[in-house]
Amino acid sequence: MGTPDLVKIETSKGTIEMEIYPDLCPITVANFEELANSNFYNGLVWHRVEDWVIQTGDPLGTGYGGSEKMIKLEINRKLSNVRAAVGMARSNDPNSASSQFYILKRDAKSLDGNYAIFGLVKRGMDVVDRLSVGDRMVSVTVTKGTPTE
């Protein structure tokens, strides 16, 4: 696996830090980074909070909105729907992911092969576990990974 990019999500309840994997999911990561770098995510609410998952990225705050662009479903078998995994939400159309993403609070391996996992929370799962519907992403920043060799 190549060098991950780093994402910091400042929320109304604390900071979530995650790695995202451009080498494993280049389309998905490029889409996420384009949105983050344009401040698309800043101020959006966590519109879905359940015992197993949280979801955000909808400018409408309803779960039915997104950005103007949809991307192709990108599955990498090296990544699985486990606790702390970050994946793209979508409608029934496999190629309908846009801006909404989720973070798993517990394993959901039944989703493997159907949703694009593109990252993993490294710090802040305590924040993920505390978030409620209506809490906000204050800011989302991406730092490009630098090779360690």
Cα dihedral across residues 90, 94, 97, 102: positive or negative: positive
Q: What is the pLDDT of residue 147?
A: 56
Q: What's this model's pTM, rounded to 2 decimal places?
A: 0.95
- Helix%, strand%, coil% for the chain, nearest 5: 15, 30, 55
Who's near 91: CB < 8 A, 6+ residues apart?
none
Q: Is residue 33 part of a domain?
A: yes
| Cβ-contact 13, 120 below 8 angstroms | no
Q: What is the pLDDT of residue 2?
A: 80
Q: Is residue 44 part of a domain?
A: yes
Q: What is the pLDDT of residue 63?
A: 95
Q: Is residue 34 part of a domain?
A: yes
Q: Is residue 148 part of a domain?
A: no
- Range of 68's domain? 5-143
| Cβ-contact 136, 44 below 8 angstroms | yes
Give me the CATH number covering residue 134: 2.40.100.10
The rounded distance, in Å, linking the Cα atoms of 140 and 149 is 28
Per-10-residue mean pLDDT for the chain, 149 residues long? 91 97 97 98 98 98 95 96 98 96 98 97 98 97 75
Q: Is residue 9 part of a domain?
A: yes
Q: What is the pLDDT of residue 145?
A: 82
| Cβ-contact 49, 131 below 8 angstroms | yes
